[in-house]
Structure 1
């Protein structure tokens, strides 16, 4: 049986961050988990943009928003993490991504509005560098061309222009054939093909006559898989324009880019990843945790002195539900949830208050250690991070990746 200092359960933002932070501190780390939210990410790292949810108040300063949130919602997981810890976590996380070909940028202490595939402007804290020229184009209302492709379903340039026609009148659109491909197109295939300079040259030849006197050209996020900055620079040289990317609808290329960066980087730090294996058995003892990862002949027996539960909610398979209640899938920890299933959802899908089921999760102490049914620490060396934490609605508050990364940092620091 293999022994580790830490078992990280989950492979979304929180799981990847926890594995990174633990390995960087010299701990031996094993990681398991199903496909996590990171695979369907837009690539943006939201810190906090909306509070209170009911008022839909959007904040430019996420740290002012955090102060208000901590005052109003003392049970929210962000109340367990200081601003200084959040900043250190984001810095270490994005530094790692930069080392593996994914540059991130933002404005210190400020959220920035960035264009989405729906044509809306999303407030976020950090974004891939390949999207930044789009921010500058929007803020200057500069003449710009948005290009999409026949066969690509995840982005419509025409829709973006229609939504933005009053606020960005000099936005033009074009739909062209993607060089070397036909039929239904998939962002990942397109991104891999853009590694070839000849393919980029073909694309530029198609776009150049349409760009005219615009200053910027926006593309769906297909500009390479690993070295996106080099692809973008080459297109800028070929077109003589500033270029930017817009994330497509999930599954976009941003998620696979992030996962690929972790797949490249975590093993070099000594992390042992048991890909696509769920924890099927967990036994706690005073010494630590005995785990079975996977099932049948391919299952693996592991021992860890400590563990971080970063398994997410339903999508990451951290929570499961039947007709009556929600359960935590690994340790059967108590889950804070509405008393009755009829209270899980409000009658209106777009109710500004959200749905109670979206705040279901695990209760913890100040060190992010899950609590048992009696309100006491379940195990002194079990911590939790990310979406599985109770009392947060990350989607509506625009705080998903930031909360995952920050609580993973705090969980590791608390080990």
Structure 2
């Protein structure tokens, strides 16, 4: 095993882990990061800030800042209640600026959520969308004549379903299914994206779509328009077709996730971050000057020493929380987890119950500096911080605040770290 000492170890490689590594590196800290495929890889690419509250009533908000204020008032233990708007704006701005530097531009309205199409034809309120999806927001708002392009052999996307779901409010929406210019049989979004990096396949795609354009002002595709530089692909297709082009995420796993992952894989090492990709922390202990971690197993084990740590391991999907027949446990430090008193209270009997499931609000209690609390109600360690889905008192999936919560809490965790030790 090889060893190294860093200012901070970021444990997790989802939205919160990537954001924490980014913000810490930009603050001048030496950073190591470990983690495996997480929520970011299954993302739609949208950055939700706050969309639904109260979840039991299904109230949807166009003004996410008003929603954040309402949540902070109604749910004073929600992580958003420990933040202020300028910090949240700075966090999301810093995150999207970094993505833009890696070829993934984001945009949105100045003062309200976007209304964006999902792959099943529903409409989602979200704060920021990739530039490649923006024209779809505009088309939806204006109900302009729009053609949705579908492909023979592509699963996880149905133009017919999109049209069926929206036909009452969007009579000018229609669809056409065409043959993808490269490959036949079952298609995979990543292979399609790599193919469309070649201009000649974009030209063939435009030729296949041309007979179906009619009066369409906008042209929507499943999110397969390039992997590394999708903006350039969209611009070229607009030039070839004479229409406003946009993407709609496919059912996860969508290409939007690998695009985000690729941006961080390319950009974080350039900021000095030592990335230990696709490897989990298998040992963790406190030492005199901070923490000692072992990352990986067998002959590939690596020892990392760090003065501080940010826990951004997510919940059950990211394996930050582990459930057995008796309790929910935190996986790295065995920190106390806020959870229902009995296992019978974890879930409602109805899967789609309007109140959700209590287990989905389980997680770590933190102080105002986002340090997890121990069993005595005090910080478990003065240099241990937490961010993202592992935080308690929030149901990010139903509240539509996942990426926003991850990014803003990562910012606060790094701020807390920069305050030093008290």
* TM-score, structure 2 as length reference: 0.98
Aligned to 2:170: 168
Aligned to 2:408: 406
Aligned to 2:387: 385
Aligned to 1:218: 220
1:367 pairs with 348, 366, 369, which one? 369
* C-alpha displacement of 1:10: 0.1
The RMSD of aligned alpha carbons is 0.7
Tell me whether 279-288 or 17-26 shows the greater mean CA deviation: 279-288
Q: Give distance in 2, aligned partners of 1:293 and 1:199.
A: 42
Q: Please give the per-residue CA displacement for 1:257-312, whole angstroms capped at 9, x wherever unaligned.
A: 00000001000000011111111111113410000111111111110000000000
Alignment of 1:69-108 (within 5 A): 69-108=71-110
Alignment of 1:8-407 (within 5 A): 8-407=10-409
Contact 1:308 1:383 in 2 (8 A): yes
* C-alpha displacement of 1:379: 0.3
Q: Give distance in 2, aligned partners of 1:405 and 1:197.
A: 35
Runs of 4+ in 1 over 3 A off after TM superposition: none
* C-alpha displacement of 1:339: 1.1
Q: Give distance in 2, aligned partners of 1:234 and 1:109.
A: 30
Q: Give distance in 2, aligned partners of 1:258 and 1:121.
A: 22
Unaligned runs of 5+ in 2: 418-422
Q: Please give the per-residue CA displacement for 1:351-381, whole angstroms capped at 9, x wherever unaligned.
A: 1111001001011111100001111110000
Report how many aligned residue pairs link the two structures.
Answer: 415
* C-alpha displacement of 1:52: 0.8
Contact 1:34 1:317 in 2 (8 A): no
Q: Please give the per-residue CA displacement for 1:214-272, whole angstroms capped at 9, x wherever unaligned.
A: 11110000010111111001101111111100000000000000000000100000001
Q: Give distance in 2, aligned partners of 1:269 and 1:99.
A: 12
Q: Secondary structure at the match of 2:10?
A: strand
Q: Secondary structure at the match of 1:229?
A: helix
* C-alpha displacement of 1:180: 1.2
* C-alpha displacement of 1:108: 1.9
* C-alpha displacement of 1:121: 0.6
Q: Give distance in 2, aligned partners of 1:166 and 1:109.
A: 28
Aligned to 2:420: none
Q: Secondary structure at the match of 1:4?
A: strand
